[in-house]
Amino acid sequence: MEIRVEMVAGELINEVIGNFSFQGVLRESAPWGNGHINDTFLLTYQNEDKKETRYILQRMNKGIFTQPVELMENVMNVTSYLRKIIIENGGDPERETLNVIPAKDGKPFYVDSTGEYWRSYVYIEDTTCFDQVEKPEDFYESAVAFGNFQRMLADYPAETLHETIKGFHDTKARFAVFKQAVEADVCGRAASVKDEIDFVLAREDVADYFGDLLEKGELILRVTHNDTKLNNIMMDNKTRKGICVIDLDTVMPGLAMNDFGDSIRFGASTGAEDETDLDKIWCDMELFELYTKGFIEGCGGKLAKREIELLPMGAKVMTFECGMRFLTDYLQGDTYFKIHREHHNLERCRTQFKLVADMETKWDTMAEIVKKYNY
């Protein structure tokens, strides 16, 4: 007998499930993962031979991704392209890229009776995604996986992809928004965070760096993931190697250095993003080198030497941008990032700025590490 799903979203979720082309009989459903953007469920189906197949079902967040049809067009185009490359390389496309389950009308999404957009993927079995680096090898494997993602998509025409979040890593534009927030000072907080404001204002050159090079035509626009955290890699349970990059919502035209840099910001830090004891925060050079080695290996010679030379700047720019965004949100009244205590965004920005300052003291070391692997 087919069971009905728990009332996570009322009767609505049963409507949604009934409009996807799942195979078999639904046996179990449950919330899955700990993402903060999309609502995610794991569905277990069973066929006549008692074989189970699991699927991921997600409600897309229209508040953040305002053009879900364009987003899914990106996902379909990129995963179809990856599938061909994986097959050519003798890999397993059922495990090494996301496989979209169509709705019964053939579209890669379903619009429910309230106007919300849903999509579904085949769950990749015998894999795990980790929220934190449990051992250095995991960080290395994530680097290889994200580098491999760059390699496989190196010849994809990035300019044909939709920009799913406008100006997501336009650091120059975010700097302008920051200055407006300081001037408006809608919450009267600017005077109490003068040191943090001055830290940002003194680094306008960092905010402008990549934008200026792009305007001069000196950088290559590539297909980038734009959320290169460890938990967006599915790791094989047997080999502990990263086999599939997931969460493709922010795949769009961008810079390889930014993908590298966001991983360093998150994974090479010695403390949590909201650590209040800044003495515990620095950029671990051993982890930096491990990730650099893996990322360059994964890219397989597809990045230009200039791009590789700029990897340390990618780490600095992404960390600076993130800290600036936290501080901007704090000045504007904590309207974007979810906070769990007073001054949470201020604490977050301080950890990022501590990382930036630490990178500046280790700049020559970072450059030498990158040079070591820039074949």
Tens digit of each residue's pLDDT (9 = 90 or more) over 329-349: 999 999 888 889 999 999 999
According to the model, what pLDDT value does residue 104 have?
96
Nearest to 323 by CA among 299, 349, 284: 349
Nearest to 118 by CA among 55, 162, 173: 55
Mean pLDDT of the chain: 93
257-283: average pLDDT: 95
According to the model, what pLDDT value does residue 2 have?
36
CB 373, CB 292: distance < 8 Å: yes
Pairing between strand 242-245 and 127-128? Answer: unpaired
Query: In this model, does residue 5 exceed pLDDT 60?
Result: no
CB 55, CB 40: distance < 8 Å: no
For the chain, the domains span: 12-66+99-123, 136-373
346-373: average pLDDT: 97
Q: Tell me which of 41-55, 151-165, 194-208 is least confident.
A: 41-55
CB 118, CB 109: distance < 8 Å: yes
According to the model, what pLDDT value does residue 64 have?
86
Distances (CA, A) of 41 to 17, 18, 123: 11, 14, 11
190-213: average pLDDT: 98
According to the model, what pLDDT value does residue 183 have?
98
**Predicted confidence band of residue 280 (pLDDT cuts 50, 70, 90):** very high
CB 307, CB 318: distance < 8 Å: no
**Predicted confidence band of residue 6 (pLDDT cuts 50, 70, 90):** very low
Q: Tell me which of 166-170, 288-292, 297-301, 365-369 is least confident.
A: 166-170
How far out from the chain centre does Cα 132 lie? 14
Query: In this model, does residue 375 exceed pLDDT 80?
Result: no
How far out from the chain centre does Cα 61 lie? 15
According to the model, what pLDDT value does residue 35 have?
64
Where b means 16+ CB within 10 Å and e means fewer, 208-225 reads ebbbebeeeeebeebbbb
Query: In this model, does residue 301 exceed pLDDT 50?
Result: yes
189-199: average pLDDT: 98
Specify the CATH architecture of the domain 136-373.
Alpha-Beta Complex (3.90)
- Give the pair of three-digit tokens for residue 56: 């991921």
DSSP H helices, 268-304, are 285-299
Cα gap 192→211, rounded to integer Å: 31
Tens digit of each residue's pLDDT (9 = 90 or more) over 118-165: 999 999 999 998 877 788 999 999 999 999 999 999 999 999 999 999
According to the model, what pLDDT value does residue 8 have?
45
